[in-house]
Every structure is written in C-alpha cells, then in structure tokens.
Structure 1
Amino acid sequence: MSLAVIDSHLHFFALDKGQYQWLKHSAPAWPNLSRIQQNHSLATIPPSSQFTLSHFIHVEAGFDNHAPINELNWLAETQPSLPYKAVSHAQIDAPPEQFATALAALKHRSLVAIRDITQGSDGCRLLSPQVIENIQQLNRAGLHFEAQLEFSQIQLCDAFLKQLEANPDLKVVFNHAGFIDCHHHATSLLRRCGALPNVMLKCSGNEMLAQPLPTSQWLTHLLEQVGEDSLMLGSNFPIVLSVKKYWQVWQDYLTVLGHSSTWEKLSQTNAKRCYGL
C-alpha cells in the first residue's frame, strides 16, 4: 500500500496565461532551468507506486501580482481533482487599510494564508510597525502569514521573532526552513521558533541554496532544534526539478525518517492541523 503525503509547498505554472515576470524575463541562475520554465500542473506529477499525494498547499508564484485573485480562480478552474489550500500574495508591510482592501479582494474558498517574500534587502520590511497589525488582521480572518527570509540575517530574524514572542497567539509559517545551510545553522533562532506555539517551519527549498546541508543532517538538525510538532514536509515543485525528480524528494525524506510517528507528523498530521485540511 502506498504512503499518503501532503505536500505543504508546491507551485503550478501556466506560463501562457500568467505573468511570471521572475521566471520568464529575469529567471534565476538555477541549473536545468528548462525543466522549470514550462507549464506545470497536477497532471505533470507522475504516478508513484510508493507514494500518493493526498492533499497539497499551492503557494503563489507570480501569476498576477496586481490581481492575485486571478491565480486562485485559475487554480480552482484547472486543479480540482485533489483537496488543496492556497497561499496568495499581499504586501505585508502595507498600511493596514490598504492591506484590508487587498484581503477583501482575495476572498476565495481555497485561501488559507498570505505570503510576501522578504529575502535579502527586502527583509527590512518585516520590521515595519504595520506588519504585526496586518498579521493580526490575517489571524482574525482565519488566515496566517507565510514568511520567507534567510535565517542568516540574524539581527532581522531576532527582531521579528521578538515581535512574535510578544504576540504568541499569532500564527506564522516560515517557508523553506529559513534557508539554513552549511554556513548558517541558525540553532538559536530555530529553538525560539520551536518554543512558539503558533509558529511552524516548512522543510523544503534546499535546491535553491549554493551550499545546502545533506538531507539527513538538515532534517536531523531541524528536528533537534524545532521539534517534530512544528515541522512540515514540502517539495517546492517544480523548482526542485532542477536537481531531482518529484518523488525522489519524498523518498529522500522517508530514508531519513523511516516509517515512524515522526514521518506521519511531518508528512501529514502537522500540515492537516496547520492548513485545516
């Protein structure tokens, strides 16, 4: 019998319908880019005899940054065969009134969270006084914020975590486990994340790093510092295709975790709880 998994972080592309400025016109210098610069959908994930995708979380991918509701509508029209939730986009440091207007325009049955990428120099936007107020807006609406930044930015992360520690009821999910790598293990920051009751991290995105930790060392470190109740597994499909096939991601996770209660939590239970699946 195959193992059911919930993919907590994937993207589908419709390059002929959406904008995808970041991929079409200013693509990152990833290996095997042609594998990524294609249309991707549920149908392009091949069947597996070992695993079954039972649910997925679709994360915005720049389909239409001016009207992100269009991506949610496109997804609902074209990807109906599996239960899923969607993470859309809004500017997290916008004035609260503007943020409320953006949320109102995003009302959709699949919407569960908002992501606003704050990597590199954009990270300073997380320190805007409007951010916590906007995350509070999200939580009141039954949504949460998905933060994407590098934990190597220690001072920034320290300041942001202090705000979350002062507001422990706020729900935040860190994408790609903070991009920890061979040089930045971020042990203290990870422990603080694990101590917050409403903060979770997604294990994904290692293929985007110049010097990633080996999967075994990476997962073991995250489990030791964050704890198994605050982690979820994701593929980052189709970006991960730059280095491996889709189901190889899950095989690599299983090789580390084995058929265990930890595997069950990271591959299913925690995502069900986090995303209300």
Structure 2
Amino acid sequence: MKIIDPHIHLFDMENGDYQWLKPESGPFWPDKDKIARSFDESALSLSKPMQLKGFVHIEAGYDNQKPWRELQYLENSCEVAFKSIAMLDITMPHQLFLQQFELLACNPSFVGVRYILEDVNDDFFSQSHVLENLKHLGNKKVIFELQFPFERTALVDEIINLLNEYPDFKMAICHGGFAPTSSQAKQIWRKNVAKIAKFKHVIIKCSGQEMLSTTHRHIDATRFQVHIDECISLFSDERVLLASNFPLISLAMPYSNYWQMLANMYAKQPKLWSKLSIENALNFYFH
C-alpha cells in the first residue's frame, strides 16, 4: 500500500522564521504550542503495510522574504521523493515577482505556488498586478494552490474568469475548499466547487478536517467520507487526492492512524483507494 501525501509541512525551527507559529502571532489556537517545534521527514511514519513513496511540501513560512530558502532547506535534507509548493507573494510589483519566481524555478523540486487567500478582500483580483502575476504562473504551467473557503462566491468567480482565459492553468483546491457544516453554507460551497470542477486541470485535496474547529479537533470518519465522496461526484475519481496536512493532523490523531482511517474507508474499493492515495497525486504533481 504505497502512498503519496500531497499536502504536508516540515519545520526547521532553528533556521527558519515561521512567524505564524510564534505565540504572539496569529492564528491564536489554544493548542498551537503542540506543533511549534521542528518536524523532519522521519515524522511521516506509517504502519505496515503502508509505505510513504513521496510527498508534496506546502510552504510553511520558513522565509517569506526569500522563499527559495525553504526549497533549498528541503532539497538538502529530504531523502524521500518530493515536490515543493513555494510561498510567492502575488501582490508584489510584477518585476520583483518575476525575479523571485526565477529564483524558485532554479530548484528541482519546485512545481507551484501558494498564496493564502483566506483573509483577502472580495476585490483582491481587481488589482492589475495580481492578475499579471497569476497569468505568469499560468503561462509557465506551474500549479497555483487555492486556499480559502469556497463559500466566498466573489473570489471563486474571479478564479473562474482566470481559468476561462487560461483553461489549462493547473490549480489545486486545498482542504476541500473548507466545506462548511451548515446546510445553507454547504449549498453555496457545492455550487461554487461545481463551477470550478468543470476545468479539467483543477484538482481538490481532501484534508484539513482538524482545522474545522480549533477547540474540538476530533475527526468524524463517517462525515469525512461523505465529504470525500461528494468531491468525487464533482471532480471524478481522477482529480480527488487524499492528504494529511501534517503536522496539523497530529492535533487530532497520529499521522499513521489518520492514513489507516482513510485506508479503512476504501478497503473494499482497492482501485479507488489507489487513485486517491497515490495515482492522482503522482499524475498531478510529479508528471
């Protein structure tokens, strides 16, 4: 049972910045101190017969001013096959953006960029240099990771406009687009996710369940499987990826237990399990 985990974070607290992990900085989670330490790839341990064959590292704030330093740290320290999604500030003036992009592109593991959109205003994409920077990513055929609640219709519609112009722009929806639990908000989420699912170069990663509540980290396996199956109904079984969000998943359960929970969900569907746990991640990030 080979696995590629397409959404993990590693921390090197001695050499990195990680401003967000410091107690004086947000997010102000009551249990943030439990993950405010170094994690290397040896922490990604699975119980047999599962075996980690690779991972996708999502930027974790090692050095947001010089984001290529995080990729260099990873490439000098990791032995498992991996790809990197780097931090790159898409609000920078275009020429500075291009300079930083080229420094990232020099690193063999680099495949894409994440800029968290959770706190931006609805008119964020009306800034001409933001669109210019994003279009550069589309032209270069690198991945843009979408991290924001998909209830935010205005932001989704701006992404749709971009995809209409660049229909083969590769995008990944992080944490299932933060599917809400209330029925009214869930209807909005589903409508917006369905709109973007029509674009064949967009995938969705099912993870981040431990982020739905900062005071109750428990993951309900039944509810999570309903969410995964709903994503499959929208994206097909070719464009849904299971992921862990390590080390944040450890706030809810051990890493190996999480993957065992997922394996149990699809124990009677081995072909589907293979797609969700390795094949789709391999096709999207490694090919």
Which TM-score applies when normalising by structure 2? 0.88
**Aligned with residue 195 of structure 1, among 194, 198, 204:** 198
Q: How does 1:1-277 map to 2 (within 5 A)?
A: 3-24=1-22, 25-30=24-29, 32-79=31-78, 81-106=79-104, 107-121=106-120, 124-183=123-182, 184-185=185-186, 186-210=189-213, 214-258=223-267, 259-277=269-287
Contact kept in structure 2, 1:194 and 1:230, CA below 8 Å = no
| Distance verdict in 2 for CA 1:99–1:40, change over 3 Å | same
Counterpart-to-counterpart distance in 2, 1:123 and 1:66: 25
Contact kept in structure 2, 1:215 and 1:253, CA below 8 Å = no
Q: How many residues align?
A: 274
Runs of 4+ with >6 A deviation: none
Q: Alpha-carbon deviations, 1:217-241, whole Å to 9, x = none?
A: 2112211222222211110000111
Unaligned runs of 5+ in 2: none
The range that moved more, 56-65 or 208-217, is: 208-217
Contact kept in structure 1, 2:88 and 2:113, CA below 8 Å = yes
Counterpart-to-counterpart distance in 1, 2:4 and 2:84: 13
| Distance verdict in 2 for CA 1:130–1:201, change over 3 Å | farther
The range that moved more, 191-200 or 204-213, is: 204-213
The range that moved more, 151-160 or 70-79, is: 151-160
Counterpart-to-counterpart distance in 2, 1:104 and 1:11: 23
Instruction: Report how far residue 124 of structure 1 moved.
Output: 4.1
The range that moved more, 50-59 or 176-185, is: 176-185
Contact kept in structure 1, 2:5 and 2:242, CA below 8 Å = yes
| Distance verdict in 2 for CA 1:271–1:46, change over 3 Å | closer
| Distance verdict in 2 for CA 1:206–1:127, change over 3 Å | farther
The range that moved more, 205-214 or 242-251, is: 205-214
Contact kept in structure 2, 1:31 and 1:243, CA below 8 Å = no
Identical counterparts, % of pairs: 28
SS at match of 1:121: coil
Counterpart-to-counterpart distance in 2, 1:191 and 1:47: 33
Contact kept in structure 1, 2:118 and 2:149, CA below 8 Å = yes
Q: Alpha-carbon deviations, 1:190-239, whole Å to 9, x = none?
A: 21222101111111111111398721221122112222222111100001
Q: What is the one-letter code of the residue matched to 1:112? A: V
The range that moved more, 125-134 or 60-69, is: 125-134
Indicate the RMSD between aligned Cα atoms, in angstroms: 2.1
Instruction: Report how far residue 43 of structure 1 moved.
Output: 1.2
